[in-house]
A and B are shown apart, each in its own frame.
Chain A
Amino acid sequence: MAPAQVRFRSAAIACLLALLGAAAPRGDVPHVFARPDGAILIRLPASSLTGDRVKTQLRSGLTTAFVLVMKGRDSEDHERKLGARVEIRYELWDENYIVVVIDGTGRRESRTIDSYAHLVDWWSRSPILLGAPSPLRQSGAVAVSLEMVPFSPEEEADTQRWLAHSLNTSSSRAASGQGAASPQPSEGLLDIIIGTAIHRQAILSFHWDVRVEASPPK
């Protein structure tokens, strides 16, 4: 299928999903709520982790990052952004999920979850801190977006180095009879192309418009 067709189909599916999201039942949207101390937290819907594409991606063994961004307005009606990131990597040897949460305050927390079902359960139950205290109004509409980035910066750099090294030195390596040499940074037009093309980019995204609630849902 041609890239244009693929893009068109992706756009059509995204529109459809957005429409479905708008019409989805209450359980398929995130809950954003404010604590009495002024902190704002979010609880993501399970559906954002149960789609086929997300499931396949999570089982790939790559470090999948979920980038969470929330836009709202402060008391002076200025637009403000809050964000957090969740990285999930399926450990192929131990067959468990290693989850790292970096919340809106920069605090990093990791945990290991032994199965996909537990991961979905954790995902839908655990609130993620976006700001403490939050500059946003404690009540009002906010726009939430969640983007799925399929691999980490380290994996990206490793693949770039490996590919560049393979293309640059494959012939000389074959001639010298060496085995798999460790990737080294290399230069040239090919490296620039590789650096530009092999680049982290969201492959899936969700958008919701919700209101900040005063208390966590039951």
Chain B
Amino acid sequence: MKTRTISLILVVVVTLTGFAWFFRQLSFVSVGLAANSEVQRALRQSLSDQKSLARSDPSHAAVYRQRFEEVRLLLTRMEILSLTGRKLTSALEGTLLALVALVIASGSTIYLIEHRRREQRLVQLRESLMALSRGEPVASPLGKRRDLIGRISLMIESTSNAIDRDRRRMRSLEHLSSWQEAARRHAHEIRTPLTAARMEVARLLSWAGQQLPGEQAALASAQASIFEELERLRAFTTAFTSFAMLSPPRLVPLDLARFLDDFTGTFASAWPGLRLESQQGGGERCEVMMDANLMRQLLVNLANNSAQACDGRTGLLRLRAWREGKQVLADVADDGPGIPASVRDRLFEPYTTTRQIGEGMGLGLSICKKIMLDHGGDLDLVSSERGATFRLTFPAGDELRG
């Protein structure tokens, strides 16, 4: 800092001295021309000549007199310039020197202010890096300036966001994985006694039929009732299994916008109370790496939820994909009653449902979330004025391929 200040002062002093010296040389020349004795002598000679001419040619005396007066006026001005030249030079020098000093002072002030600001921003940058190293979230503190420091700050912020996003994804994945493990164990624990119970019930009813031949009808009714309940338990276990045994995606490059178009065409009449509408505009290519079967399963799950939420009236499900930076986003939005605020926070947790007990397992959105996390993306509920809007986030396909 000290060296910089000394250098700055030296530059200012050398510039001002050099300018003063240069201008002094220049102004001495210009004023010297005006006060030049030879010029004045020539003008005086001209005056003398005009007078001589007037005497020798009286008929044109008026002309010579006029010329004489013109030269005399010029001579008067030259005389005054030679008398005041030094003062004029000094005034010009002083003014220009003051102007140059003002320019240099302004420049130096701006430089020093900018330097101080840059130092402050560097300190903030260092604090951001420290926060990043501690794993804390970093918000860009350096304004919107797009200089080197500003760009580095944005990179830090972007890195922090990416780390935060990955951390959340990992948490979700771990959470869902533990749920999957629990579901797998429950399914296993239920399935074995369920099979045994089914066989024992069949054997018991067969024995009872032999012992009580007159009660065949009552026994058949009891068998149907018991088997219906056992079937419900089996379906419950199957759902557990499908959640627990979710296969990893087989990723291939696909255009998500086109996929959504195809989906709305194929499933146009799959839900009688739900109209599907694809809103792809501009022909923007939204290439992602995805498993088409899993993605179809995800969309079917979401559409099922929307169709059930419509509760008898005709609903509309809009699908739209677009690219945003290094990501491809897709919104699946219905115009139903929306998600109650009470379940929004745990919407993607298993066994969370808004339906009546016995009408659903509450695993559909968990499966959807897992599918998206397995794609390296995410699934979120975004706020909307009406209905429910789910946003699918994919890393862009070209970014993944590098």
Contact = CB atoms under 8 A, between A and B. Distances in A.
Contacts of A197: 84, 87-88, 90-92
Given A150-B80, A193-B95, A197-B90, 13 more contacts: A61-B75, A62-B76, A62-B79, A151-B76, A151-B79, A155-B76, A158-B77, A159-B77, A162-B77, A163-B77, A193-B92, A196-B91, A197-B92
The contact size tier of chain A is 20 to 34
Contact of A62 (B51, B68, B80): B80
Contacts of A3: 86, 90
Interface string B282-315: 0000000000000000000000000000000000
Contacts of A151: 76, 79-80, 83
Given A159-B80, A163-B81, A61 B72 contact: yes
Nearest to A195: B91
Contacts of A189: 95
Given A93-B51, A150-B83, A193 B91 contact: yes
Given A61-B72, A93-B68, A193-B88, A198 B80 contact: yes
B80 A199 contact: no
A199 B90 CA distance: 13
B65 interface: yes
Contact of A159 (B69, B76, B90): B76
B59 to A, nearest CB: 18
A199 B88 CA distance: 10
B148 to A, nearest CB: 40
B47 interface: yes
B76 A199 contact: no
B84 A92 contact: no
Interface in B12-67: 47, 51, 65
Nearest to B92: A193
Interface residues of B, number: 22
Nearest to A94: B51
Contacts of A60: 79
Contact of B83 (A158, A194, A203): A203
Contacts of B91: 193, 196-197
Interface string A85-128: 00000001100000000000000000000000000000000000
Contacts of B76: 61-62, 151, 155, 158-159
Contacts of A150: 79-80, 83
Interface in B64-114: 65, 68-69, 72-73, 75-77, 79-81, 83-84, 86-88, 90-92, 95
A202 to B, nearest CB: 11
B357 to A, nearest CB: 91
Interface string A187-218: 00100011011110001000000000000000
Interface in A150-199: 150-151, 155-156, 158-159, 162-163, 189, 193-194, 196-199
B118 to A, nearest CB: 36
Interface of B: 47, 51, 65, 68-69, 72-73, 75-77, 79-81, 83-84, 86-88, 90-92, 95
Q: What are the 4 A-B residue pairs with the smallest beta carbon separation, nearest first?
A: A197-B88, A197-B91, A159-B80, A197-B87
5 contacts: A3-B90, A62-B76, A163-B81, A197-B84, A198-B87
Contacts of A163: 77, 81
A194 B89 CA distance: 10
Interface of A: 3, 60-62, 92-93, 150-151, 155-156, 158-159, 162-163, 189, 193-194, 196-199, 203
B25 to A, nearest CB: 14
B97 to A, nearest CB: 12
A197 to B, nearest CB: 4
A186 to B, nearest CB: 16
Contacts of B69: 93
B252 to A, nearest CB: 75
A96 to B, nearest CB: 13
Contacts of A194: 88
A173 B65 CA distance: 26
B320 to A, nearest CB: 64
A164 to B, nearest CB: 12
Nearest to B75: A61
Nearest to B72: A92
Contacts of B84: 197-199
Contacts of A93: 51, 65, 68-69, 72
A159 B75 CA distance: 11
A6 to B, nearest CB: 8
A160 to B, nearest CB: 9
Nearest to A60: B79
B80 A156 contact: yes
A189 B99 CA distance: 11
B201 to A, nearest CB: 111
A155 B75 CA distance: 11
A203 to B, nearest CB: 7
Contacts of A158: 73, 76-77
B74 to A, nearest CB: 9
Contact of A61 (B79, B86, B87): B79
A57 B69 CA distance: 19
A92 B47 contact: yes
* Residue from A92, A151, A194 whose CB has the most chain B CB atoms within 10 Å: A92
Contacts of A193: 88, 91-92, 95
A61 B91 CA distance: 26
